[in-house]
Amino acid sequence: MAVVLETQAVSKIYKSDHTTVKAVDEVSLTVQSGEFIALVGPSGSGKTTMLAMLAALLNPSSGAIIIDGHNLAEMKESERTRFRREKIGFTFQQNNLLPFLSARENVELMLRLNNSFQKQGRERARELLTRLGLGDRLDNLPSQLSGGQQQRVAIARALIHNPNLVLADEPTANLDTERAFQVVETFAELIHEHNRAGIMVTHDLRMCHYVDKVVQMLDGRIERIIEDKAEIEALAGARLGPNLNLETPVIPVKEKSKPGKGWENGRLIQPANPSPFSIV
Ligand SMILES: Nc1ncnc2c1ncn2[C@@H]1O[C@H](COP(=O)(O)OP(=O)(O)O)[C@@H](O)[C@H]1O
Ligand SMILES: [Mg+2]
* Structure confidence by residue, pLDDT tens digits, 207-218: 999 999 999 999
For residue 45, the ligand closest to its alpha carbon is 1
pLDDT score at 134 = 95
pLDDT at 159 over 60: yes
Q: Is the distance from the beta carbon of residue 164 to the nearest atom of ligand 1 less than 6 Å?
A: no
Confidence tier at 1 by pLDDT (50, 70, 90): confident
Where does 3-279 sit in CATH, by number?
Answer: 3.40.50.300
* Cα 41 to ligand 2 centroid, rounded to whole Å: 9
- Of 117-126, 163-172, 180-189, 258-267, least confident by mean pLDDT is 258-267
Residue 50 alpha carbon, nearest atom of ligand 1: 17
Q: Is the distance from the beta carbon of residue 157 to the nearest atom of ligand 1 less than 6 Å?
A: no
pLDDT score at 121 = 86
Residue-wise pLDDT tens digits, 41-72:
999 999 999 999 999 999 999 999 999 999 99
Task: Output the pTM of the full model.
Answer: 0.82
* Cα 14 to ligand 1 centroid, rounded to whole Å: 8
pLDDT score at 269 = 41
- Protein residue whose Cα sits closest to atom 7 of ligand 1: 274
- Protein residue whose Cα sits closest to atom 3 of ligand 1: 14
* Cα 44 to ligand 1 centroid, rounded to whole Å: 6
Share the mean pLDDT of the chain.
85
Q: Is the distance from the beta carbon of residue 251 to the nearest atom of ligand 1 less than 6 Å?
A: no
* Cα 209 to ligand 1 centroid, rounded to whole Å: 27
* Cα 211 to ligand 2 centroid, rounded to whole Å: 19
Residue-wise pLDDT tens digits, 233-269:
999 986 544 444 444 334 344 443 444 343 344 343 4
Q: HEC profile for the chain?
A: CCEEEEEEEEEEEEECCCCEEEEEEEEEEEEECCCEEEEECCCCCCHHHHHHHHCCCCCCCEEEEEECCEEHHHCCHHHHHHHHHHHEEEECCCCCCCCCCCHHHHHHHHHHHCCCCCHHHHHHHHHHHHHCCCCCCCCCCHHHCCHHHHHHHHHHHHHCCCCCEEEEECCCCCCCHHHHHHHHHHHHHHHHHCCCEEEEECCCHHHHHHCCEEEEEECCEEEEEECCHHHHHHHHHHHHCCCCCCCCCCCCCECCCCCCCCEECCEECCCCCCCHHHHC
Q: Is the distance from the beta carbon of residue 47 to the nearest atom of ligand 1 less than 6 Å?
A: yes
For residue 93, the ligand closest to its alpha carbon is 2
